[in-house]
Structure 1
Amino acid sequence: MRLHGKVAVITGAASGQGAAAARRFTEEGASVALLDWDGEQGAAMERELVDAGRTAAFYQLDISDEQAVADTIAAVHQRFGHLDVLFNNAGIGYSSNDTYTMTSVLNTPVAHWRKILEINLDGAANVTRHVLPVMIASGGGSIINNSSINAIVGMPGADAYTASKGGLVALTRVWAVDYGRKNVRVNCICPGSIRTPMMADAIKTPEDEAHFSNNLLGRMGTPEEIADIALFFASDESSYLTGVILPADGGWTAQ
């Protein structure tokens, strides 16, 4: 049990990569706080895990609301007593295109630009701001940021999303520097095309499928594959790793 006795906070835990990580972490012995804005799906995830005999608690939360984050992390701390792992997974992307425009800087309304950064970048900073003191007081831990290959190569057509994910890469490095001596490791996953609900709106034709499968392995990734990487970073198996920016993209960025 690679996470036996550990408490993990997972944002965006109700679906996709967050839900896969919640299942994987609890399989490996962690108690998990499930944070998500979707009350119905979040409650369903909690029931699934509890019915399987695992320890999980759901907290409905908009991570862009700093005060709500402070209150929620305080409640999680009170319930579990310590915090050892944070998976900053929550974010919006192509699945939110009907609400927030995913396009170039020239065509993205300012209000949409700000909201995308509020959720994807400020949200991760909000949660980290309140988890870090508890984690340090607990003796250290592991923070995993879920970014994107958009953060490390030029990918046209979603500039606010790209800016937010690039910010997570930069924060990974500086947090690793700032908190390494506090025994807090900070690493970052940069997924390529992962078959999640977030990608569903972007895959409507066989041509779309071929586009998102155009990597060295010839397929899209799965949420479970990202969850396994998050598990590695969360566990003591990665105890000598911090500040790592890891593409998980089927070799797309190697082409």
Structure 2
Amino acid sequence: MRSVLAIFLCLGVVMLAVACGGDGDQAAEGTRPASTGGTSGGPAVVVDGPASRYAPFLEEISRLGSFDVYPPETFGIAAATWSLTGPFSSITDGEAKAEEWGYNEGFNIQYQPRNLLAGVLQGNYYVTIQVHIFDTVEGAEQGFGAYETTTGNAGGDELSPKGLGNESFAYELKEGLVSRSEVVAVYHRFVFRRGNVVATVQTYGAEPFMTIDPAREVAVMIDDRILGNTEAIEPTPIPPPIQTGSGS
């Protein structure tokens, strides 16, 4: 069984490797508005790939804060990759389930805050998005159930935000400290299914500032693309991230 941080798509290796200083957009503690938009229920649409069409662009994400794309964590997901990294107890189990459930393709993208961990200590956060497309709605239902089970077994606290899509769930996991500070780090994960698509959104931030709402807001952007409320087009080539400041 994977570790808690592995199941929560651990961002620690990426984020603890670099921490920059400098000024950034600062969020006040406990002031994030509740995420209440989006469509709970509604049609179980069947969409085609590529999965990257349904992930929000940098311009959309930037409505929530100051972010850059992190190219090393931005890539397409084939069935073989999902078998290795998905919600499975082993690669063998993953390979069997990917075939049985008709896993088609996926896409992973990570957005990092300006000033990185220094920005996290000011109220910004990391966002990791995965969009998974299955051949059928039934296959997506199975995939969603697997994410719900493994996330629930990871030791976090289940949350109850407004639902999204045909089904959804949310969890919070407090784990360690942010960089060398005394501030508690927290992961929030929001997962939903719309038709034959399963999407996961995970944020990493400082506990005093963070709620499930930013993750859900990103999920709403994905769902709007699936439903056709926002045009789903393939992203342009991703520019390198802008590194600002220095420090530890």
Shorter-chain TM-score: which interval? under 0.3
Which protein is richer in helix relative to its size? 1
Which protein is richer in strand relative to its size? 2
Higher RCO, 1 vs 2 (CA within 8 Å, ≥6 residues apart): 2
TM score, norm. by length of structure 1: 0.27
